[in-house]
Structure formats: C-alpha cells, structure tokens
Amino acid sequence: MVDQNKILKKEYTDWLRRKKKSNGQPYSEGTVMQYVSALSTSPAKLSNIELETTNVFEIADASQYGNMRKAMEQAENFDLVNERTGNKAFQYSLVYYEDFLREREIRLGSETASSQQSEQSITAAGDLVVHSSNNQMLDKNIILYGPPGTGKTYHTVLYAVSIIEGEPLNVILQEAEAGGYDQIKGRFEAYKANGQVVFTTFHQSYGYEEFIEGIKPRIVSEEKTDSEIGEVAYEIVAGVFKRFCVAAEKPIVQTSNDYGIRKEPTIWKVSLGGSKENPVKRDCFNNNRIRIGWDSYGETLNEETDYSQYGGKMILSRFMNEMRNGDIVLVLYDEETIDAIGVVTGDYEWLEEMDDYKRSRNVTWLVKDIRENIMELNDNTVMTLGSVYRLNRITLSDVLSILQKQKTGHVNSVIQKNNKNYVFIIDEINRGNISKIFGELITLIEPTKRMGMPEEIMLKLPYSQELFGVPSNVYLLATMNTADRSIARLDTALRRRFSFAEMMPDPGCLASIEINGKLLNLPKMLETINRRIEALYDREHTVGHAYFFELYKDPTLEKLGHLFEHTIIPLLQEYFYDNYEKIRLVLSDNNKPESEQFIVLNKVNVNELFGNFGDLDLEDTFTYKINHAAFSQIDSYRKIYDHNSFE
C-alpha cells in the first residue's frame, strides 16, 4: 500500500526540483536526491533523543514537524550525522522540509476554500488534476523511474485510471491492494479500446516520423487512378502522438441529435451558385438544401460519362458519392469568408423542376447569413470557386468555435468540447533519442503552453505545414529504468518538463514462504541483496520486488531456482559486467560451503594447465563456474541473508 509518507516524499522531491538557489538556478538532480536521502535515513542515526517516528515523511503538519526538527537538532551526535551526509545535506533538508510543509498547508487551504462547490477533476487553469476529496494532484507529465522489477509498468495502469476517472491515486492504489487490480486493469483496457489510452515504447531507432509525422512511401493500388498502378507514391502520415492529440482535442458529438451530425463528420466547402449573394444561394437558404450544376450530364452518371468537354468529374463524385449524411458544409461567400454552416441530411437527388443547378442534397442550416473569415483557420489559404472540396485544415473544433461566436448555444448540447482526460504512455522513455523524437514538441508539452492556456503555443509542423498544439486534456505518463540510465543523464530539456515518481524495491510488499518444509524470508533476502548491491555499485541497480511475486502462485524450489538461474543471476551479471567476485559477495557465496554456492571459485594451476611456458611470467589465476546444483537447495537461498543460522 502506498502510504501518505510515500506521497509526501514524492511531493517534497518535486518541490526541491522546483526550488531555486540564491543565484536563481535550480538545484541539480544529484543535490535533490542527496537532500531527500539525508532526510530519509539520518533521523534514525541520531542518539539520546526520543522521536515519535524516525520517518519524517509521516509528518504532514508543519507545526508538529517544527517541534520534531528542534528535537533532532539537539541530538548529541547531530553534527557528526550531518557531516557524514556531505555538504550539510541533513541540516539543510530539515529546514527545507518545514518550508515545504508550510507552503503545502497554505496551498491546500487555498484550494479547499476555492473548490468547496466543485467535484470536477480538472482545474480551471488546466495545469494539474485536482482531486476534491483530498486535493491530491497529478502533473501533466510524469516519469515513473526505478530499477527493474519495481512495478513501473504495473503502476502506469493505476496512474492512467486515476487520471481518466478523476479519482485520487491513493484510492485506486487501495482498490488494487484490496484485490481489485483485475477490475482496474479491465477498465484500463476499456479506455484503451476507446482511444483514451495509447501505449508506445521508445527505442534507439524510434524517431520524429513515428511520433509526430513523416513522409512515407506507398504502392499505388487499383483504386488510385492518379498514378500508374504499382508506382511508388509518397504521402504525409501522422505519427502516433499527433493522432492521439487530434483525437483528444476533437469535440464530442452526441450520438443521437436533432441536427443529424455524425460522430466524425467531414468538413466540406461548397459554392452555391458562385460567391456573394445570388438566387441559387437564397433558394438553398430558404429551402434547406445545397445545389450544384453540370446539368448537361443528366441525372445519372456512370463509367461511360464523357467529362472531357465540361470537366467536373471529381466535384460530382464528391457531391453525389463521397459526401455523407451527417457531414458539415461551409458555404463560400468570398475567397476568405463563409456565410453559412449546415449539416447534410439527405442523399443526392435530381430537381427536375429547377431551371439549373438541379443536383441537390438536403441540409439543416446551423447558421446562415453570417460573415465569418476563416483564413487563419484555413492556414491562411484562400478558398477557390471550386464547387465542392474537403477543408482538411479545418476541424470540428474550429466549426464549434465559429458556432459559439455566432451565439448558437443550442448547438453546444450536440457538439461539446472534449473534457475527457487522455493518457499517452511511453515505456522505456530513456532508451529513445529525446531530441530526435520530440523535436519542437518539447516546448508544446509544457502545461502552460498547452492549447487553451494563457501561454498557448501552436507550431507549424515541417511536413504537413499544419498548426499543431498539445491539448490540455492530454497526460504524458512514462517509465524509465534507472539500470539503463540515471535521471542525471536524462535529456535536460525533458527533465525540466516532467515530474518524477521514484519506484524503488519494496521488500515490505513480500512475505515469507515455506518451501519443502523450510521457511524462506523473502523480504529479508531481497533487502540483504539490495543493501549489498548498493554498497558495491549504487541504488539504481538494485533488484525489484516484482520478480518474486510469481513465487506465491507456485512456491516451489523449481520455481525459485528458475527465477535465480534465469533472471536474478543474469541481471547481476549485467550489473557487474561479469565481475563474479562481486556477484558472489551479493549472494553470500563467500560464506557458504561450496555445494551451496551459486557461483563456485576454482583456482587454476598454470603449471598444470600449460606445462613448460618458457620465459612467460604467469601466475595462478581463478575461474568462476555457475553451480547448477545449488539452485535446488533451499539453504543456498536462506544463507544469502543469514549464513550462520542454517548450519
């Protein structure tokens, strides 16, 4: 269970990352982690004082903590403990934690007062998700980081469901720990199928073209008549993140509505009898329809129709066949302006009674006789007099904004702004070339630069030349394996724009198991292994608790042996670059009889091996061999954490 102390520890860590030094510069990641580590471990080392707890992150009240800090500073060995943390990290962190708690109380008090009437999960600023039940916040961009096997991918499911449902994270975590993870995972999969969650994995060859957009080849097929069949053509293809953002920003159309608008309508430009005011347009406005010409071809068109004299083949195909009921039409007034918006509600029909412009389709007019300049929405491109074509640059959101300006409030009940939350999950974010993948997007993902925010930024993409921004309802959730790369080595521009949630091995998640009538203390074994790794290497290359969960389904020596032989020892080999002496120390093989050692040390007698080797100066050396028999002995594992008690 993720307790309040873990939440406070993360919030304090993020607070330190935002804190500025006297010269205006932020603290380095190394300094931040030094302060957090000092505050986590040093209180337990103080002597001759009584503390209600040595875990300061259990204290959320600033006044209560202030009294506790004064007591710690009076400890007789305070100066020694402080000195050992380096650069007085303990002393400074004690003070900073009190500052953090007081700022937190002011912020929470202000938020509580301003949101008593609201149960919504998104603030007006759109910067953070605020949960009204306990004011817990989740940032727009989060990286879950830690060693392998600490449940980072597992937690992306919980974080994503928390964000989408607007529930406090600790509520979702408690539901999972109470046995409800399968239900949460089911909801996660439903959101994924609905398009609110997308999952991708970064790797060395992943690039901008896959993420945002790129030019890709395709083979011309039979239905493509503009090129010879079999030729290679090129097209601009949106990447996975761009498609996700477009979907998140797209307004929601009510499935059943009086206007007949379909869920994902195409936006068409139509000319009714030309530009400006004219009789054909006035007839269409009065009789709820749109009309185009080319009457000389007759009512029915087929493959034998000859378009060589008057043209219009593509326009007629769009109007009669491609335009669908529920699509939206914008009516040309002049090359920059429209004067009506309508919804197509009828199939193509031939109006015999009309003198000209006999081809017609019924529409429901949402607004008419307006003057709305759409040049900017259309990427500063003028509209042509062509009767019918798609307005690919104009979105349903743009149409909604025009309708809202025209005060057609009744349409808002049909076309509504998308207020759902969307979560884009990036697994192994540190394995990709961030500068190459994100490009100019690195600025757009900042919460204050999102669409609709006061500092909104829209950039023109290099291939499509479309304006693009990141919607405020999009959340980036990434995982990072610190065994591959530490936070300190992460791209600086990315690090500034993400908050970080540390996920370290937690032996407390495990419990002892009985194998062949003998008790194996899994928590103590994992804790001992990781303490040794931290001493020989660092904390970022420890072993995660999640590796051991399968033992509860199958608590056998065979399962345990398979785990160590094929997962734990290969992981240690990777960590220590095949330095088997250190691996032996981690597994306590130096304290076991040879039969119980996972890695056996063998001395090589060079004289015996090489015989007479002349003037070469060779000394006896050592080789190491994995002892497969040890994996089937329970004491090989028990003696990892206590080599004296199981003789």
Q: What is the pLDDT of residues 212-239, one digit of tens each?
A: 998 888 776 544 444 455 577 778 888 9
Instruction: Give the integer Cα–Cα distance in Å for 484 and 155.
Output: 19
Tell me whether residue 158 is in a domain. yes
Calculate mean pLDDT across residues 111-137. Answer: 37
Residues 408 and 534 in one domain: no
Q: Are 512 and 520 in contact (CB under 8 A)?
A: yes
Last residue of a domain, one of 81, 114, 147: 114
Around Cβ 216, how many Cβ atoms within 10 Å? 12
Residues 323 and 423 in one domain: no
Q: pLDDT category, 330, cuts 50, 70, 90?
A: very high
Tell me whether residue 647 is in a domain. no
Q: What is the pLDDT of residues 252-270, one digit of tens each?
A: 777 666 677 888 889 999 9
Calculate mean pLDDT across residues 18-44. Answer: 79
Backbone φ and ψ for 578, nearest 5 degrees, come out as 65, 25
Q: pLDDT category, 118, cuts 50, 70, 90?
A: very low
Residues 110 and 134 in one domain: no
Residue 460 forms beta bridges with which residues?
467
Residues 427 and 551 in one domain: no
Instruction: Give the integer Cα–Cα distance in Å for 220 and 230.
Output: 5
* Sign of the CA dihedral running 578, 579, 584, 585: negative
Residues 499 and 540 in one domain: no
Tell me whether residue 58 is in a domain. yes
Residues 155 and 204 in one domain: yes
- Residue range of the domain that includes 217: 118-250+418-504
Task: Write down the pLDDT at residue 379.
Answer: 76
Task: Write down the pLDDT at residue 582.
Answer: 94
Q: pLDDT category, 475, cuts 50, 70, 90?
A: very high
Task: Write down the pLDDT at residue 283.
Answer: 94
Task: Write down the pLDDT at residue 25.
Answer: 66
Tally of CA atoms within 13 A in the half-sphere of 150 that contains its CB: 23
Q: pLDDT category, 129, cuts 50, 70, 90?
A: very low
CATH of the domain at 336: 3.10.590
**Tokens 């875990």 — which residue?**
55
Task: Write down the pLDDT at residue 489.
Answer: 62
pLDDT at 153 over 80: yes
Crossing angle of helices 89-114 and 29-41, rounded to 10°: 90
Residues 407 and 444 in one domain: no
Tell me whether residue 319 is in a domain. yes
Task: Write down the pLDDT at residue 254.
Answer: 72
Task: Write down the pLDDT at residue 224.
Answer: 42
pLDDT at 556 over 90: yes
Task: Write down the pLDDT at residue 48.
Answer: 83
Mean per-residue pLDDT over the chain, rounded: 84
Tell me whether residue 631 is in a domain. yes
Last residue of a domain, one of 362, 386, 415: 415
Residues 319 and 405 in one domain: yes
Task: Write down the pLDDT at residue 94.
Answer: 87
Task: Write down the pLDDT at residue 87.
Answer: 75
DSSP conformation class of 20: B
Strand arrangement, sheet containing 197-201: 197-201, 422-427, 474-481, 141-146, 499-502
Residues 474 and 560 in one domain: no
Task: Write down the pLDDT at residue 189.
Answer: 93
What type of residue is 247? A
Tell me whether residue 598 is in a domain. yes
pLDDT at 113 over 50: no
Domain count, the chain: 4
CATH of the domain at 199: 3.40.50
pLDDT at 611 over 60: yes
Q: What is the pLDDT of residues 43-88, one digit of tens each?
A: 888 888 888 888 888 888 888 888 888 888 888 888 888 888 887 8
Stretch among 106-120, 591-605, 608-622 having the lowest mean pLDDT: 106-120
What type of residue is 113? A
Two tokens, residue 72: 């710690």
Residues 15 and 79 in one domain: yes
Residues 242 and 308 in one domain: no
Task: Write down the pLDDT at residue 647.
Answer: 52
pLDDT at 444 over 50: yes
Tell me which range, 135-139, 312-316, 484-488, is most confidently predicted by mean pLDDT.
312-316
Last residue of a domain, one of 114, 129, 149: 114
Residues 515 and 631 in one domain: yes
Residue 153: exposure state from Cβ atoms within 10 A (0-12, 13-18, ≥19): middle
Task: Look up the pTM and report it.
Answer: 0.66
DSSP 452-500: TSTT---EE-TTT--EE--BTTEEEEEEEETTT--GGGS-HHHHHH-EE
Backbone φ and ψ for 590, nearest 5 degrees, come out as -70, -10
Tell me whether residue 89 is in a domain. yes
pLDDT at 477 over 90: yes
Tell me whether residue 588 is in a domain. yes
Calculate mean pLDDT across residues 85-99. Answer: 84
